[in-house]
Structure formats: structure tokens, C-alpha cells
Structure 1
Amino acid sequence: MQSGAEMIDGVLSAPDVEFYKLANPELAASTTYLLKKPCSPHLAAREEEVQIEVNKIIEHYQQLSRENEFVLIEGAGGVMVPLRDDGYSMLDLMKELSAPVVIVARTGVGTINHTVLTAERLKQEGINVIGIIMNQMTIEDTKVEQDNIRMIELMTRVPVLGMIPYIENPLSAFGDSEMLEHLFSKLMEGDSNERAGKSF
């Protein structure tokens, strides 16, 4: 599900998905619901008179799981973002999908509180958090960033799998296959540990 969809070559498309395809043209990416208004999905769906059917999302995920060895699900905003007007949230969907979770968090000031609260809420709901990826959105004080990472690992007891460095032009990162392979291998390692029953 993605709000903020745009018309690309006359077709309503998800900008994030199109961006991922630039990184890997062979990527089989799809979105169950595309909503135009760039806001919380529940509001975009209401204004566009779209009925969000959770079963449709789950069936789409199950189909992708049958057709692919590995399925990566991108959440719509944070864990408490509402997907429908009745308050059904991203967290509720995550519980129904029963997939292990990787948190993507920014590196700067404020991230300790946000990331720890997110991890703790997921754990309280019985969701397996296998790792955290730090996303450097701006050029920050390295000492602050490194301490944030240290404290997040300490307080959540969840491993930081890696950090995506600040890149002024994200398109240039597509040539850095080493960084992408490192993050992917860490994700697969975490997924294998989850299947083996290891908890973090």
C-alpha cells in the first residue's frame, strides 16, 4: 500500500517501487493499493473512496510468497500509522502477516526514543524484530550517530545490521553493489536465525 502515488507515463505508479526498480530492473515489485494523496493511508483512502480490504493485502502477500523465494514488505509509515478509518494500523497488519521485522531508523537526534519505542511495542505484540538498519538522512556529527547506534542496540537488544550512509544523489548508490550485498546478507542471516529459533 502506498499513498502519494504519481502518474508515470500515463500510469498511476508507486514512486518508491519505481525507485527500487532503478536499482534492480529485475525486481518483481508490486503494490496492493495505490492512493494519490500524500498522507496517512486511512485519509487518502477515505478521500478517494477506496475501501481497504485487509484480506486482499494478505492474499497478495501469500501469492508473492508462493512465487518468490524472498519477499520484502515495506511498511506504510510507522508501526502505528492507521490504514483504515476504524483505527486498523500498520501494527495490526504486521501481526496478521506474521513476518519478521527489520526497523529502518534515522541516525540523528531523537532516533533513540523513536526507535526504542518502536522496537518495544513490536516485541510487546509478539512480533520478531530481527534487526535495525540506520538510515543517515543528513550529514550529522559522527560521534552523536555512533553513540545513538550503541544506545539503540543496548536498549533494544536488537542488532544494528548496518548503516546506509548519507548520499547527496541516491541514484549514484546503485553502482555500490558491495553495500547492497552486505545489507542483504545481514538480512538473510537474521532471517535464518529467526527460522532456527534464535531470539534477540
Structure 2
Amino acid sequence: MSILVVTGTGAGVGKTVVAAALAALALARGSTAAVVKPAQTGVPAGAPGDVDEVIRLSGITTTFELGRFPGPLSPAAAARAAGMPPVSLAGAAELVRELAESNRLVVVEGTGGLLDRYDEDGATVADLARTLQAQVLVVVRAGGDTVNHTALTLEAMAHRGLDLAGVVIGRWPAAPGQAERSDVADLEMLAARPLAGALPEGAGRLADRRAFAEVARKGLGATLGGAFDPAGFRQSV
């Protein structure tokens, strides 16, 4: 069994699509898998959330959303604004451990970045990963401030003794500019290893699960169950 915590350098980097891609690859190779979203923020009750997107894209059936808050804030701030109790990461860890007993892969998708607060005591997804002794997959954006944000995230992980599963670009543009292309070498330098994947922008809009599974296979590296070639990608950009 394996537990993989998916975090990012911030919101909107493509964590949900990466989580769905991991689930799709697991199902394609006949493995059992589960996806856990400890806290969904910025989505009202009854509306489709990140877990629903994972189900739609991958076809996975074992999914859990442990808390939902309508405010587009960190989990702790969103819970406070809604007058609701925060999500218990200790409870999330217990559920993940239980799921890991009957599933070959359990993917835990964090909210926001590595150090976004989940409760008033300051618990973060980094704490959850350490409790679970799980590897952490870092999803980053292309361009912008990604090098700085990735460096800060990886430094925070190293300080906490967390094991890096790899760095994945969550939304690689069809027509990358100079900034996006130059970031590839910098990201690999920061991670001290080749990229673990790069999913094309728009992958989350695919309606056909087989097409999405193929995108996942091409966009994630061998350690994540796919066939992404970091050397070929580096050369192409």
C-alpha cells in the first residue's frame, strides 16, 4: 500500500487534476485506490467540489470529503467565517490509515499550499503528511512566481523532514512562453531530480475518461504510474 499527499504552491495550480490522474492510473493498472479531501473551501453546500471532479475524471468510487466551507479561504479561516468546527487532521489521519489497509493507493489532496492552516492550533497538511509518514507530491504552476514559491515549499518540507515524491507542473500551456520554458530547469534544480510530470492545460475539461487516463499516462512519470519522459519534455521546451 502507498499513501501520497498532494499539495501545491498555492490554490489553482492543478492539484485536483493531478489527484484525479493518479487515481486514473491506479484504476488502469487494476489497483484499488481511494482519494481523501480533508477540507473543501470556496464551494457552497450541494455544489460539485474537488472530489466530484476526481470522480468525473477518473471514475474512482472510493472518495471522501471530510469538511466543506463556502468561503474561498484557508480551511481554518473558512471554518471560522462559517461558524463551523474545523476539520480534524487527526481524524483525517485515522481515516487514511484505515483506507490504506484495503487500498493499494490512498491519495490525500490538500487545500491551498503546504502550510495553510486547518485549525486554530495551526495544523497543516505538512503535519498530516508527517503523521502518516507519507511522501508529498508538490504541484506547481508554470511561469509567474513558481520558482520562488516552489523553493519555499520544498524548504519548508525539508525543514520538517518530509519526503518529496516529486514536482509536477499541474497546467502546462499549449504555447509556453520564455518564462514557462526557463522554469523547467530551475524546478528540476530545486527538486534535485527530474520533473515527475507535466499535465497539459485543459486536461481537467476532458469529458471522456479514457482520454483523461491517456493524458494522465503521458503526463505523469514512472514513479507515479505513468510514462512521462522528463528528458524528452526538457528537450522539447
Hey, what does 2:191 align to over in structure 1? 156
Q: Distance in 2 between matches of 1:100 and 1:66?
A: 17
Structure scoring higher RCO (CA < 8 A, sep ≥ 6) equals 2
Amino acid at match of 1:114: H
Measured after TM superposition, the shift of residue 52 of structure 1 is: 3.1
Q: For 1:6, what is the secondary structure of its paired residue?
A: coil
Question: Which runs of structure 2 are paired with 1:65-84 in the superposition (5 Å)?
Answer: 65-84=100-119
Alignment equivalent of 1:177, drawn from 191, 210, 213 = 213
Larger of the two Rg values belongs to structure: 1
Q: Distance in 1 between matches of 2:107 and 2:91?
A: 17
Q: Distance in 2 between matches of 1:29 and 1:158?
A: 31
Q: Distance in 1 between matches of 2:208 and 2:149?
A: 27
Hey, what does 1:193 align to over in structure 2? none
Greater per-residue strand proportion: 2
The yes-or-no answer on 1:19 pairing with 2:53 is yes
Q: For 1:136, what is the secondary structure of its paired residue?
A: strand
Spell out, residue by residue over 1:130-160, the C-alpha distance to the aligned partner (whole angstroms, 9 max, x if none). Answer: 2111022666644322210111111331431
Q: Distance in 2 between matches of 1:94 and 1:169?
A: 26
Percent of aligned positions that are identical: 25
Q: Distance in 2 between matches of 1:184 and 1:22?
A: 22
Hey, what does 1:2 align to over in structure 2? 40
The answer to whether the 8 A contact 1:104-1:132 is kept is yes
Spell out, residue by residue over 1:61-110, the C-alpha distance to the aligned partner (whole angstroms, 9 max, x if none). Answer: 11111121101111111011011112222222222121101100001121
Spell out, residue by residue over 1:13-50, the C-alpha distance to the aligned partner (whole angstroms, 9 max, x if none). Answer: 66111111111223321122222322111012223321
Amino acid at match of 2:213: S
Amino acid at match of 1:5: V
Amino acid at match of 2:148: N
Q: Distance in 2 between matches of 1:86 and 1:122?
A: 19
Hey, what does 1:36 align to over in structure 2? 70
Amino acid at match of 1:135: G
The yes-or-no answer on 1:92 pairing with 2:130 is no
The yes-or-no answer on 1:103 pairing with 2:155 is no
Q: Distance in 2 between matches of 1:14 and 1:64?
A: 23
Measured after TM superposition, the shift of residue 58 of structure 1 is: 1.1
Amino acid at match of 2:57: A
The answer to whether the 8 A contact 1:79-1:91 is kept is yes
Amino acid at match of 1:6: P
Q: Distance in 2 between matches of 1:21 and 1:96?
A: 27
In the alignment, structure 2 segments of 5+ residues that lack a partner are: 1-38, 227-237
TM (norm. structure 1) is 0.81
RMSD (CA atoms): 2.4
Q: Distance in 1 between matches of 2:151 and 2:204?
A: 29
Hey, what does 1:187 align to over in structure 2? 224
The answer to whether the 8 A contact 2:172-2:198 is kept is no
